[in-house]
């Protein structure tokens, strides 16, 4: 049952018809309704759980009413241990992140049972909510410090059990861990196993686990990039005002290598030299400005937007008072996660699972009219206003919230995970304006494993159709 089907107004009627299949105790139960299963909680902690349990490691929150919450129930296999080191670390990182959220709301894990965990298509989840208690019920002389230390030892014990397949209650043998050649595992366990003298905060533990996981992800990432650009066939266009580029960098921290790939297209405006100067300035700044290694998804997304604002500053600086500007679409791929920064009507697409989806919004007059139901997309193709932009680089100098957009404005998430076979496309309007999305999907699908051939074919199609504008395309293919 889809979550949007369960409305709060209907939930009370449904709940009266729920059949309790299994009582977990403390208000938790597995219920069945109309042939489907749910995890339900009814009790005094209802308001708190609504706040703290909307986390990726907990069951998916569906709806609530009065003192009852309904979560998704997963038809998935319980974890089989030992688990491979990579998935073990990812799981512990997610639980550590959930522990920080719990602590911020005055709660903590009292115990975690591996039998409560399952692997779903969206990652690891608790099949049912683990034992959670209030911080006020946990008594130690130095309470704040001891609470964090208790949680860290809980995480260390769980990681040891995931890796070795042996419960920590039977004691532990550090030699078992030494066979894993992943930097960071011995260091984390030396701080987190019960009896260790090391001390580390939950926040520092999360950062450490994030760095270890990022280094592992970087080893699995290889990208092939294709790019092509044409001045077009319009006799009035003697300069290619499109600028583009990409740059791949490798950074190293304590635990290994990180892969950062930047790519962007800017379409100049203002005519001749001004348009070329604006687009080139934006691209050069975006590609050369320093990118910091960060662990937080939102911070990386914000840093990507900040790169675009620095590109905007470069446009103003280099135009030196001339009337000009550019559209801009930039991507940052951090190991296997995609972030974007976009303003204007260049476009960013993703080809994933044989589907093509546009990630960017057009900041144009016709797009606004389309979204407002005033104009159809077919009418927009021949509209005299199709080239009128509402936003661009070089239009405003001071930062304005959401003027340059990331993924969050359209998808309410900061990044997209890339997997083998995915393609990121960046296209100027000279390309997408001549190739409809359905045809773009067909071409991309047929040449999905060769990005050089893909972009060459896109430009070739545009030229065969008269190429009235400059045309530029970048394709980034994730080989593995």
Please report whether residue 112 resides in a domain: yes
Instruction: Measure CA of the first residue to CA of the last residue in the chain; give whole Å.
Output: 34
Q: Which two tokens stand for residue 461?
A: 């199609």
**CATH number of domain containing 53:** 3.30.200
Higher per-residue pLDDT: 168 or 235? 235
Please report whether residue 321 resides in a domain: yes
Unique residue bearing structure tokens 């304590």: 254
Q: What is the pLDDT at residue 265?
A: 99
pLDDT digits (tens, 9 = 90+) for 407-453: 999 998 999 999 999 999 999 999 999 999 999 999 999 999 999 99
Same domain, 149 and 40: no
Same domain, 61 and 94: no
Same domain, 12 and 143: no
Q: Which two tokens stand for residue 173?
A: 């043998």
Same domain, 255 and 106: no
Please report whether residue 78 resides in a domain: no
Whether pLDDT at 83 is above 70:
yes
Global confidence as pTM:
0.73
- Choose one of 218, 250, 268: the last residue of a domain: 218
CB 65 within 8 A of CB 11: yes
| Average per-residue pLDDT for the chain | 87
Same domain, 133 and 226: no
Same domain, 55 and 170: no
> What is the distance between the alpha carbons of residues 332 and 480, in angstroms, rounded to a whole number?
17
User: By 3-state DSSP, what share of the chain in percent is helix, strand and coil, each rounded to 5?
Assistant: 40, 25, 35
Same domain, 271 and 413: yes
**Domains held by the chain: number:** 3
Q: Which DSSP symbol is given to 84?
A: P
Least Cα distance to 391 among 341, 440, 328, 339 occurs for 328
Same domain, 214 and 241: no
pLDDT digits (tens, 9 = 90+) for 327-370: 999 999 999 999 999 999 999 999 999 999 999 999 999 888 98
pLDDT digits (tens, 9 = 90+) for 14-69: 666 788 888 888 788 888 888 888 888 888 777 777 777 767 788 888 887 777 88
Whether pLDDT at 253 is above 80:
no
Q: Which two tokens stand for residue 86?
A: 């990579």
Please report whether residue 80 resides in a domain: no
Average confidence (pLDDT) over 294-316: 94
Same domain, 213 and 233: no
Same domain, 208 and 338: no
**CATH number of domain containing 116:** 1.10.510.10
478 in helix, strand or coil? strand
Same domain, 151 and 279: no
> What is the distance between the alpha carbons of residues 30 and 381, in angstroms, rounded to a whole number?
53
Please report whether residue 473 resides in a domain: yes
- Choose one of 16, 43, 72: the last residue of a domain: 72
- Choose one of 153, 183, 218: the last residue of a domain: 218
Residue 199 Rama label (left phi>0; alpha psi -120 to 50; beta): beta
Same domain, 145 and 276: no
Give the range of the structural domain holding residue 93, as residue numbers without chain letter: 85-218
């Amino acid at each position: 049952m889809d979550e949007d089907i369960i409305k709060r107004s209907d939930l009370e009627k449904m709940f009266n018809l729920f059949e309790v299949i299994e009582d977990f105790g403390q208000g938790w139960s597995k219920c069945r309704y109309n042939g489907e299963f749910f995890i339900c909680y009814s009790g005094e902690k209802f308001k708190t759980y609504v706040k703290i349990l909307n986390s990726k490691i907990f069951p998916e929150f569906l709806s609530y009413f009065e003192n009852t919450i309904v979560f998704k129930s997963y038809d998935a296999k319980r974890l089989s241990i030992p688990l491979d080191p990579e998935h073990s670390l990812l799981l512990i990182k997610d639980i550590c992140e959930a522990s920080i959220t719990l602590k911020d709301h005055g709660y903590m894990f009292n115990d975690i049972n591996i039998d409560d965990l399952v692997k779903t298509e969206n990652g690891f989840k608790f099949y049912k909510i683990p034992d959670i208690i209030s911080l006020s019920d946990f008594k130690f002389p130095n309470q704040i410090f001891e609470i964090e230390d208790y949680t860290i030892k809980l995480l260390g014990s769980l990681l040891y059990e995931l890796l070795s397949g042996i419960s920590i209650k039977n004691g532990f043998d550090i030699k078992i861990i030494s066979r894993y050649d992943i930097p960071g595992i011995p260091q984390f366990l030396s701080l987190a196993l019960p009896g260790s003298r090391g001390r580390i905060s939950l926040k520092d533990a999360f950062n450490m686990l994030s760095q270890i996981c990022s280094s592992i992800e970087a080893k699995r990432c290889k990208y092939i990039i294709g790019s092509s650009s044409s001045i077009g066939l319009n006799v009035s266009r003697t300069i290619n005002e499109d600028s583009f580029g990409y740059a791949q960098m490798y950074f190293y921290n304590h635990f290994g290598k990180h892969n950062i790939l930047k790519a962007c297209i800017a379409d100049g405006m203002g005519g001749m030299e001004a348009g070329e100067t604006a687009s080139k300035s934006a691209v050069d700044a975006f590609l050369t400005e320093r990118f910091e290694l960060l662990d937080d998804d939102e911070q990386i997304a914000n840093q990507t937007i900040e790169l675009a604002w620095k590109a905007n500053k470069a446009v103003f600086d280099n135009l030196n008072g001339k009337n000009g500007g550019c559209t801009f679409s930039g991507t940052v791929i951090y190991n296997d996660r995609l972030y974007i920064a976009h303003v204007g009507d260049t476009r960013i697409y993703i080809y994933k699972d044989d589907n093509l989806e546009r990630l960017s919004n057009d900041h144009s007059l016709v797009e606004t009219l389309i979204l407002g139901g005033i104009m159809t997309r077919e009418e927009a193709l021949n509209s005299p206003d199709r080239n009128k932009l509402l936003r661009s680089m070089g239009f405003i100098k001071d930062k304005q919230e959401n003027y340059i957009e990331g993924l969050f404005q359209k998808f309410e998430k900061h990044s997209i995970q890339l997997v083998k076979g995915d393609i990121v496309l960046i296209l100027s309007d000279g390309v997408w304006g001549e190739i409809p999305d359905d045809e773009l999907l067909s071409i991309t699908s047929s040449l999905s494993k060769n990005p050089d051939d893909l972009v060459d074919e896109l430009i070739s199609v545009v030229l065969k159709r008269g190429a009235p504008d400059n045309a530029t395309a970048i394709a980034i293919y994730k080989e593995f």
